[in-house]
Chain A
Amino acid sequence: MIPRSFEYYSPQTLDEAIALLQKLGPEAKLLSGGQSLIPMMKLRLVSPEYIVDINRIPGLDYISETGGHLRIGALAREHQLESSESVQSKFPILADTAKVIADPLVRSQATVCGNLAHGDPANDHPATMLALGATVVATGPKGQREIPIEDFFPGLFTTALEPEEILTEIRVPVPPPRSGGAYLKLERKVGDFATAGVAVQITLDDAGVCTRAGLGLTNVGMTPIKAKQTEAFLTGKKLDEATTQQAAEMAASESQPMDDIRGSADYKRDLVRVLTKRALTHALDRAKGGA
């Protein structure tokens, strides 16, 4: 399969890339990892007139921890999450996520920022970033602006990015002590999109009471879903068996799945319930110091 022809640009700086986006307008598409864009171009689901390849811009491939945040640069690849010590020790939920995205070959190229910028509710990082309360940094002609992750996905395959903006960084607050998270995804085979996925990130106080809960759901709605009612329900409670069970049922009712080849809406809703319970239990173990 051969994509339609396009004009190719390979800017060497971020400023140059933004100037190109301004000049070329909405028919221009950014190429980073290309692991979603190129298959879509080959299937001719999208046929951009202009490709702006940002892979040659130096200094964007970082994953670093500074100022109380994990910072993930525009060109950081998924495989870097799997091998980052900071991620392994403080953000096990991100390590969980990276391992179940597509397959190792795709993860060689695919970028974490691209996983958000694509705006696909079937992608995995939106849910984990919702659970972690991340901030998206968009850089455009007027400079940088920060977008809270819960405002980043207004609709199907749509993001809060303006056409001339580039998602340059994801900022994830370093969780306080007694925090834990987990991402669980059911996929039919390696490389498939989630039938459903649940991301949970919690923080406990000294007495074991939940002081913060973040819950994100993958591929059970038109957009990635932040399960706000469940989050509010969990906050201020001890996460015992009954509470966990009730939260799982609540998360299921917050999902909005549709029937498709991966299963019926009812099946997926029940899957959200089961995965939420398991993810909460795992997150709780991790918050208490377990692996």
Chain B
Amino acid sequence: MAKVPIKVTVNGVEHKAEVEPRLLLVHFLREDLRLTGTHIGCDTSHCGACTVVMDGRAIKSCTAFAIQANGRSIMTVEGLEQEGQMHPLQDGFFQEHGLQCGYCTPGMLMTGYAFLQSNNDPTDDEIRHAISGNLCRCTGYVNIVKAYQYAAQKMREGGA
């Protein structure tokens, strides 16, 4: 099948590539761009491990074609750290022990990034709804909620 040219901005850097239309966004990120922070979990749109932010909204990159990102702006977990400084969310997951095995973490972070942009003073209940598409199988949700709250507070204080 003929490849088609796409141009995608990922973490602020513009990438040009030739892709098969059937190439999934998650495979483009991991295999073409070697940005392996975005994980493949269930591969059936259930678990949220592959969550990235496209034009400001968190989406599942296993359920989008790379070609759909043509001309759009993607942010992955690799884009959170800025000039050696962890994002408040990353700091929150570290401080509050928001992960055990870490497999769901990139997705949890990217869902949180988009969510906290629109609501930096959430209730615990709002956070739980926001992460309802991201599964953690280490039963770590309590600390993930705490990590979001830690980040929200930092962001309110002007940390990001």
Contact = CB atoms under 8 A, between A and B. Distances in A.
Interface of A: 1-8, 10, 31, 34-35, 38-39, 41-43, 51, 53, 55, 79, 102-106, 108-109, 190-191
A103 B133 contact: yes
Given A104-B129, A190-B132, A39 B4 contact: no
Given A105-B48, A106-B60, A191 B21 contact: no
A35 B45 contact: yes
Contacts of A39: 44-45, 63
9 contacts: A4-B22, A5-B20, A6-B21, A8-B4, A10-B67, A38-B45, A103-B132, A104-B133, A105-B111
B100 interface: no
Nearest to B131: A104
Closest 7 CB pairs of A and B: A103-B133, A8-B21, A5-B1, A105-B133, A108-B57, A190-B132, A3-B22
Interface residues of B, number: 29
Contacts of B30: none
B76 interface: no
A111 B130 CA distance: 19
Contacts, number: 80
Interface in B51-86: 51, 57-60, 62-65, 67-68
Contacts of A38: 45, 63-65
A34 B61 CA distance: 12
Given A2-B22, A6-B21, A105 B51 contact: yes
A109 B130 contact: no
Contact of A2 (B24, B44, B129): B24
Given A7-B1, A34-B63, A38-B64, A106 B22 contact: no
A155 to B, nearest CB: 25
Determine which residue in B46, B111, B129 has the highest number of CB atoms from chain A within 10 A of its CB, and name it.
B46
Contacts of A53: 67-68
Contacts of B67: 8, 10, 53
Contact of B59 (A1, A42, A108): A108
Given A103-B133, A104-B132, A109 B64 contact: yes
Contacts of A4: 22
B133 A51 contact: no
B130 A104 contact: yes
